[in-house]
């Protein structure tokens, strides 16, 4: 189905009239997307935009928006908020579900905090602070770890990944390195080529020229299986499509990747496998009754933690994280951040791709800003700021 067909399904108005309304709505949001494009070819972020338009075009009296900004850029979020305020003025009520606290203070009148399926606090937004929201989401006795982390020197650590002047679909002239024990970020808006770059490094998409080196050896002609066995893993943006087996158990999901590395492919030590899975459940604080529960029964945040555990169970040398905290709540987000920092301390090389600039600034040692398929800027930790990264992503010139 095309984007237009996805948006119009179930509506009785004339097709021509609906098309005009959709185009006007998309234009008011500042988005540029072709209505005749097939929905199945869209990125997860573009699918999010279509879902928002599909809800808004129906002019409902009550609109429920569940994490609508989780993959949107700063500009797109601002456009959405302007539209939401205009809908509010027309008397349309909205239930806005989000894990991004600043959005609550910007867009909401009232707030309710949901934890473990129960409303633990509610009231007017003006009566809450950021810390009060965070405290409400975290269980009693849970203490946040310090956000400030000393950036360790990485210049003398081993070079794990080297990308040398590669060109491919949606990107060109890309070069960078990732060392052991560091987090390198790639920031950019939707359509900048970030995900395509990650897929090419992992081998899901071909490169036209250039070279990719893992510990000094070219992997340009290596299969996916070979890249995995050499220690390169990729945690995709869309976990539902690429990262998990939703009808399989938590145990089967985590153990799936490790089975590639068993010396004996026909006999797996069930006791060791169960012990490994249990260790990850405890380490990641995965909320599940037992490891044999179907993964689809878990929350989005817990599913994401299972995805991370699945790939870390392979003992990788480098891990590519594409939007690792998309759509998960504040508590789960903090736990994923701590996991990333732990991986870094243990010497794992990490390539972090994220549309959340605050996330990038908090976690990385250095960042490359990508725009129109090219790296337009490179900044070290001490140079980073949310405003500067955002400005560069939208077309600003490096100062």
Three-state SS for 233? strand
Rounded Cα–Cα distance for residues 264 and 361 (Å): 43
Q: Return the number of other C-beta atoms located less than 10 Å from residue 97's C-beta.
A: 12
Residue 96: the pLDDT is: 93
Rounded Cα–Cα distance for residues 171 and 161 (Å): 18
Three-state SS for 166? strand
Partnered with residue 20 across adjacent β-strands are none
Residue 174: the pLDDT is: 97
- Span 24-29, mean pLDDT? 80
Partnered with residue 358 across adjacent β-strands are none
What's the pTM? 0.67
Pick the more confident residue, 138 or 389: 389
Rounded Cα–Cα distance for residues 185 and 126 (Å): 35
Q: Phi/psi at 364 (nearest 5 deg)?
A: -90, 160
From residue 34, alpha-carbon distances to 219, 351, 355 in Å are 36, 31, 22
From residue 171, alpha-carbon distances to 31, 92, 195, 200, 369 in Å are 21, 42, 10, 10, 13
Whether the pLDDT of residue 197 is over 70: the answer is yes
**Highest-confidence range of 136-145, 214-223, 270-279, by mean pLDDT?**
214-223
**Cβ contact 196:171 at 8 Å:** yes
Break the chain into its structural domains and give their ranges. 3-107, 109-141, 159-393
For residue 242, what pLDDT band results from cuts at 50, 70 and 90? low
Whether the pLDDT of residue 162 is over 80: the answer is yes
At the topology level, CATH places domain 159-393 in Rossmann fold (3.40.50)
H or E segment to which residue 130 belongs: helix 130-137
- Span 269-297, mean pLDDT? 86
**Cβ contact 350:198 at 8 Å:** no
Partnered with residue 167 across adjacent β-strands are 209
Residue 259: the pLDDT is: 54
Work out the percent of the chain whose per-residue pLDDT is above 70.
86
Residue 150: the pLDDT is: 43
**Can 3-107 and 159-393 be said to share one CATH topology?**
yes
Residue 163: the pLDDT is: 98
Residue 211: the pLDDT is: 97
The answer to which of 58-62, 76-80, 121-125 has the lowest mean pLDDT is 76-80
Rounded Cα–Cα distance for residues 165 and 213 (Å): 11
At the topology level, CATH places domain 3-107 in Rossmann fold (3.40.50)
Look at the block and give the residue holding tokens 């972020």. 45
Whether the pLDDT of residue 112 is over 80: the answer is yes
For residue 398, what pLDDT band results from cuts at 50, 70 and 90? low
Rounded Cα–Cα distance for residues 34 and 23 (Å): 9
- Span 376-383, mean pLDDT? 93
Q: Phi/psi at 269 (nearest 5 deg)?
A: -70, 100
**Cβ contact 364:185 at 8 Å:** yes
Whether the pLDDT of residue 243 is over 70: the answer is no
Pick the more confident residue, 160 or 130: 160
- Span 227-254, mean pLDDT? 81
At 63-110, the pLDDT tens digits run 888 878 766 767 777 877 887 888 888 888 999 988 778 889 999 999
Residue 126: the pLDDT is: 94
Whether the pLDDT of residue 263 is over 70: the answer is no
């Amino acid at each position: 189905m095309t984007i237009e067909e996805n948006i119009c399904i179930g509506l009785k108005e004339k097709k021509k009239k609906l098309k005009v309304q959709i185009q006007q709505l998309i234009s008011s949001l500042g988005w540029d997307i072709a209505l005749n494009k097939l929905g199945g070819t869209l990125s997860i972020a573009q699918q999010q935009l279509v879902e928002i338009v599909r809800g808004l075009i129906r002019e409902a009296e009550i609109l429920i928006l569940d994490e609508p900004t989780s993959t949107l850029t700063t500009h797109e979020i601002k456009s959405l908020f302007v539209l939401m305020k205009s809908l509010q003025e027309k008397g349309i009520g909205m239930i806005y579900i989000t894990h991004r606290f600043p959005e609550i203070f910007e867009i909401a009148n009232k707030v309710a905090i949901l934890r473990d399926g129960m409303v633990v606090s509610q009231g007017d937004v003006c009566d809450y602070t950021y810390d009060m929201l965070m405290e409400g989401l975290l269980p009693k006795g849970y203490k946040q770890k310090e956000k400030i982390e000393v950036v360790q020197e990485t210049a003398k650590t081993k070079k794990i990944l080297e990308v040398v002047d590669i060109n491919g679909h949606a990107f060109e002239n890309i070069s960078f390195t990732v060392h052991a024990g560091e987090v390198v970020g790639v920031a950019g808006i939707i359509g900048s080529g970030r995900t395509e770059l990650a897929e090419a490094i992992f081998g899901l998409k071909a490169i036209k020229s250039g070279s990719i080196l893992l510990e000094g050896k070219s992997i340009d002609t290596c299969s996916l299986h070979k890249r995995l066995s050499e220690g390169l893993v990729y945690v995709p943006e869309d976990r539902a499509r690429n990262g998990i087996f939703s009808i399989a158990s938590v145990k089967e999901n985590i153990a799936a990747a490790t089975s590639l590395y068993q010396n004996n492919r026909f006999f797996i030590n069930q006791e060791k496998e169960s012990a490994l899975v249990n260790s990850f459940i405890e380490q990641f604080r995965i909320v599940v009754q037992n490891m044999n529960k179907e993964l689809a029964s878990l929350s989005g945040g817990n599913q994401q933690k299972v995805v991370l555990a699945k790939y870390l169970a392979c003992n990788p040398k480098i891990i590519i994280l594409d939007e690792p905290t998309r759509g998960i709540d504040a508590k789960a987000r903090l736990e994923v951040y701590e996991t990333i920092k732990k991986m870094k301390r243990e010497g794992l090389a990490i390539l972090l791709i994220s549309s959340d600039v605050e996330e990038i600034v908090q976690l990385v040692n250095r960042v490359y800003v990508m725009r129109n398929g090219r790296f337009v800027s490179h900044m070290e930790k001490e140079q980073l700021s949310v405003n500067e990264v955002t400005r560069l992503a939208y077309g600003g010139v490096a100062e």
